[in-house]
Amino acid sequence: MHSLTRDGSVAQTALPPGTARRVLTYARPFRAVIAAFLTLVVIDALFVVATPLLLARLVDRGVIPGDKALVIELASIIAVIAVLDAGVSVFSRWYSARIGEGLIYHLRTQVFGHVLRQPIAFFTRAQTGALVSRVNNDVIGAQQAFTSVLSSVVSNIVSLTLIVAAMLALSWQLTLAALALVPFFLLPARWMGRRLAALAHEQMNLNAEMGSRMTERFNVGGALLVKLFGDPEREDREYADRAARVRDIGIKIAMNRTILFIALTFIASLATAMVYGFGGVMAIDKTLTVGTLIALATLLARLYGPLTTLSNVRVDVMTALVSFTRVFEILDLTPAIRQAPNAQPLPGGALGVDFDQVDFRYPGADQASLKSLETTVSGDRSAGAVVLREVTFSAAPGELVALVGPSGAGKTTITNLVARLYDPSSGTIRLQGMDLRDATLASVTGAVGVVTQESHLFHDTIRANLLFAAPEATEEQIHAALEAAQIGGLVAGLPNGLDTVVGDRGYRLSGGEKQRLAIARLLLKGPGLLVLDEATAHLDSESELMVQRALDTALAGRTALVIAHRLSTVRRADQILVVDGGRIVERGRHHELLAAGGLYADLYRTQFSEADAPVAG
């Protein structure tokens, strides 16, 4: 019945060349296990035929002649076969699980690691739900190619062959009569199967819609938006409407399955009545034995199941292969940021930064994403316009460099390039004299620490969030980092201390508390280069002051690139870079740029002076 709910249109899908050959490469590590599994499947199919044949012999040679010893002997053999069949089923399931779960493990870990190595542009375009579904559902669909589909095809082909051969050997007349009813059995199954597949497809879509709606409403941001702008009664009505459609589809599927089951049972009953009717007459006429009649009826009951399954085998195989192709789509994405073959680690300590004629444009959708993972697909998927043009500057180890400029000027893009979230389109970026593309990715991650406007925390404990940056950190180092980040007292005062769960994206903490925890995490990491992307932009005055004190501790002895928000940061910068239109249009110290009377002077009058002006009571 399960195969009847498959979407038959999948059988028309055009697979990329070489898909089947590529799928087989995943079977290589399991060759011996698959061979043992298929052997057990064949043995199980032999048992399917053996029991009816033994029953025929038991009746004809034992029961009717009154040979008690033979009856006991054959009954004992049938019982032994039942025990062996149970054992074969257990071992077969163990091998099947070993193959399937091993394949799932291999695919999931491969896809998970590959996805994490994609550029940030991939995650900004991909729909998270579609991506998670690809990693979970399609991997499971691919796994079925080596377990459910493989065992089903082999066992049903072997069973069908043996059953038909045994029936022909017992009575070719009754066998041909039984086979004549096969079309009446398969046609309803195929017709109702298409209807069930369509209903199942619609049910999956409706469930997906409900799941997406719940995901959007049940995260903290979505729940907050609903409370602030939504109408609870409208939300209830809209969700109830979707749930009602799912209910109605579920009823239709249940009724169609019942009708199909009744129809198939009816036809099978007619076939059984025909065999017993004609066979009974033949047994009375002594042209057929009673045991043979019983064996034929038993084999007939086991004939239609394999026939129905094999009639849909192409759909099952194609469904599994399509799942593989969807997984391969992700695995074939080439990460934009790759480690050079002879990459070397960056040196420790404060790092000098050099930008040399750097140009950059963000990659297009076709370079960084998949259409099938995007909610909406734009027409133009080519690379974007140039964001940075001929950016050149140097920062000596331990210097504080401030980046200022209007919104959209390219400041954040510069910091993204330093962290190697992207590579420049042209030009070179060096850390301590080493081309960033020649450094190992792990050393770049360890050397560059970033604090953004809104730092992200996982839905886990404070301890787990801190150790994410430094898994080997000791308890003493954790507490030292918390104290340096001006949040040690707060954490110590919590009922569960470091084991306090921060909630989804850290929503159980205030903005300032999240920022200070992020700084503590950064201090544990101990990077040589610090990047601050307006880390205090959205905080109240008190939180901003505490975060700034924590940042002062973090900046000590480190090179820093700071997208400036506060005038105090700009004033004490060793170098100020004024960015506009993707270019550095001015550079110098605070007083030099003020005296020049250019863009910086305008920004100072409109942005910085207002930001640091005292608030009137």
Identify whether residues 443 and 516 lie together within a single domain: yes
Contact call for residues 413 and 361 (beta carbons, < 8 A): no
Q: For 594-599, which contacts have Cβ atoms below 8 Å and span 24 or more sequence positions?
A: 599/405
Within a domain: 340: no
Q: Output the pLDDT for position 234.
A: 85
Q: Which two tokens stand for residue 220?
A: 């903290």
Identify whether residues 112 and 29 lie together within a single domain: yes
Within a domain: 438: yes
DSSP-derived pairing of the beta strands 575-580 and 448-451: unpaired
Non-local CB neighbours of 420 within 8 Å, separated by 6+ positions? 337, 436, 441, 444, 448
Identify whether residues 272 and 307 lie together within a single domain: no
What's the start-to-end Cα distance of the chain, in Å?
Answer: 75
CATH code where residue 74 lies:
1.20.1560.10
Within a domain: 372: no
Please state whether 497 falls in left (phi above 0), alpha (psi between -120 and 50) or beta: left
- Which phi and psi angles does 291 have, rounded to 5°? -60, -40
Q: Output the pLDDT for position 108.
A: 83
Q: Which helix (H) or strand (E) holds 599?
A: helix 599-603
Q: Which helix (H) or strand (E) holds 414?
A: helix 411-418
CATH code where residue 557 lies:
3.40.50.300
Identify whether residues 482 and 579 lie together within a single domain: yes
b/e map 156-195, b = 16+ CB within 10 Å: bbbbbebbbebbeebbeebbeebbebbeebbebbeebbeb
Given CA atoms 6, 7, 9, 11 in this order, what sign does their dihedral have? negative
CA–CA separation, 246 and 200 (whole Å): 10
Within a domain: 344: no
Identify whether residues 109 and 77 lie together within a single domain: yes
Identify whether residues 153 and 252 lie together within a single domain: no
Within a domain: 402: yes
Neighbours of 580 (CB within 10 A): 19
Last residue of a domain, one of 284, 304, 322: 284
Within a domain: 19: yes
- Which phi and psi angles does 399 have, rounded to 5°? -80, 155
Q: Which two tokens stand for residue 311?
A: 């009639």
Q: Output the pLDDT for position 610.
A: 55
Identify whether residues 304 and 271 lie together within a single domain: no
Of 451, 461, 535, nearest to 491 (Cα)? 461
DSSP-derived pairing of the beta strands 575-580 and 583-588: antiparallel
Contact call for residues 388 and 410 (beta carbons, < 8 A): yes
Identify whether residues 277 and 331 lie together within a single domain: no
Q: Output the pLDDT for position 34.
A: 86
Angle at 97 between CA 92 and CA 102, to 5 degrees: 135
Q: Output the pLDDT for position 79.
A: 94
Identify whether residues 523 and 401 lie together within a single domain: yes
Within a domain: 541: yes
Q: Count Cα atoms within 13 angstroms, Cβ side, for 507.
A: 10
Q: Is 401 exposed, middle or buried (0-12, 13-18, 19+ CB in 10 A)?
A: buried
Q: In what order do the strands lie in the sheet with 434-435?
A: 386-395, 353-361, 426-431, 434-435
Residue linked to tokens 């507490």: 479
Identify whether residues 254 and 309 lie together within a single domain: no
- Considering only CA atoms, give the Rg of the chain: 35
Contact call for residues 410 and 579 (beta carbons, < 8 A): yes
Q: Give the per-residue SS3 of 296-335.
A: HHHHHHCCHHHHHHHHCHHHHHHHHHHHHHHHHHHHCCCC
Q: Is 28 exposed, middle or buried (0-12, 13-18, 19+ CB in 10 A)?
A: exposed
Instruction: Name the residue range of residue 267's domain.
Output: 191-284
Tell me which DSSP letter residue 439 carries: B
Query: 0.85 cut: is pTM over it?
Result: no
Of 521, 544, 530, 514, nearest to 402 (Cα)? 530
b/e map 37-67, b = 16+ CB within 10 Å: bbebbeebbebbbbbbbbbbbbbbebbeeee
Neighbours of 306 (CB within 10 A): 22
Within a domain: 373: no
Of 461, 454, 447, 460, nearest to 522 (Cα)? 447
Of 398, 526, 413, 552, nearest to 470 (Cα)? 526
Report how many domains make up the chain.
Answer: 3
For the chain, 617 residues long, the average pLDDT of each consecutive 10-residue run is 48 66 82 88 88 90 90 93 93 86 84 82 72 74 72 82 89 86 74 72 74 75 75 84 88 82 80 87 88 89 77 69 80 83 88 93 70 56 75 92 88 91 91 92 89 83 90 90 86 89 83 84 87 70 70 80 76 89 92 89 74 46
Residues forming beta bridges with residue 583, ordered by sequence position:
580
Identify whether residues 133 and 204 lie together within a single domain: no
CA–CA separation, 386 and 533 (whole Å): 21
Q: Output the pLDDT for position 614.
A: 47
In order, the DSSP letters of 488-522 are HHHHHHSTTGGG-B--GGGTTS-HHHHHHHHHHHH
Neighbours of 376 (CB within 10 A): 6
Identify whether residues 231 and 144 lie together within a single domain: no
